[in-house]
Amino acid sequence: MQLYSDTLLNELAEQQASSDCILGQMAGGAERQVLEHLGRLFDKVASPVQDRWVESLRSTDNRRFFQGFGEAVSAAFLVRSGWEVVDVCSPMPCLIMRHPDGRELRVVTLAFLKTPVTPAEQEAKELLARVVNRADSDHRITILVKKWNTHKFDPEPIRRCVDIWLTAIRKGEWQGKYATYEDDYIHLEFALTDEPTQPGQGSVAFLLAPSNGLHTMEVVEGRLVYELDNLFSKAPDGTNILVSMATNTAWGLPPGLIRSMFYGRPVWSVADGHHENRKYGFKLGDEPALFQVERYKGLGGALVIDRPEGRGPCGRAYLNPWSNTGLSTEDLSCASFAHQRAEEDGYRVMGWAQG
């Protein structure tokens, strides 16, 4: 059985101009090759999985399609590292993966459909970031957009506000690391990070907007806790799980917030001038975090997948250093945040590695 014939993809592509169907948009654009890749993956999976995917991955209902798409892309990151998709499972829809060494893993995919940012909103955010990027700051700056109403955006007052703030910090006249700007249309909060600004690097570490920021984190964490509690309460003892979170756009979430959700805040972090080489120290019991929950010992990690415009699906893994699943960077064909050294009292040194 073929998942996507050329005829089917061509028909979907013809319909996409007058539809917001994700499948049709992919069939008629650069991501058609992603669908073709999933078609080849479909040929390799077990029959029960094919029966499930043929329903979801051909659906023109966005929620149904994207659940199947998230599952298939999640599986692909493991299949490229030697795993096989051997079955579907309950109590909730998930995939059973098996490694040649005999390990078995359940992959649970949570799909999040987000409303794409409008071109006008994106242009305003980019202009704001460019303005603050030119600020003379020894440390990088984060921007939290607490309110943004449609208006003719003038960046000059914000530029002056940031310059006055940074000057006051250098003179020792400012207490703390935060500053705010507010007018009739917008409310912004600025914060200095502990990350030094490198030569040739802009001052903005990240910009967090309401449409993809704090609200998204609340939704994601709430759903993760609900689904994991439900799953571990019903799964057999010794079940090993990888949870995958997939969205139809770019997540747009700062790495620090994601790390804190899984590991808690680091006790320390060090770098050699290259962001990808930064190391973090986390201690078990120091912070409330998903990977530190005792009943989640079978949770090997989290796969975070987004779909930036024009790039297709991108993934990165956050591995649980306190889990008993034994998942490692070799198990996933993507960048992984993994423990590099274990010490006494649950202390773990973490960093990024390419799988």
For 297, which DSSP code? Answer: T
Supply the angle between the helices 255-263 and 214-234 in degrees, to the nearest 10: 30
Q: What is the pTM of this model?
A: 0.79
The confidence band for 337, taking pLDDT boundaries of 50, 70 and 90, is: very high
pLDDT of residue 57 exceeding 90, the answer is yes
Distance CA 348, CA 355 (A): 19
Question: CB–CB of 307/322 below 8 Å?
Answer: no
pLDDT value for 167: 92
pLDDT of residue 93 exceeding 80, the answer is no
Task: Convert the pLDDT of each residue in 286-318 to its tens digit.
Answer: 778 999 999 999 999 999 999 876 677 999 999
Task: Convert the pLDDT of each residue in 212-266 to its tens digit.
Answer: 456 677 788 899 999 999 888 888 888 999 999 999 888 877 778 889 899 998 8
End-to-end CA separation in angstroms for the chain: 32
The per-residue pLDDT of the chain, averaged, comes to 87
Question: CB–CB of 305/314 below 8 Å?
Answer: yes
pLDDT value for 300: 97
Q: Which residue has the tokens 């709430």?
A: 222
pLDDT of residue 91 exceeding 70, the answer is no
Distance CA 31, CA 283 (A): 41
pLDDT value for 214: 61
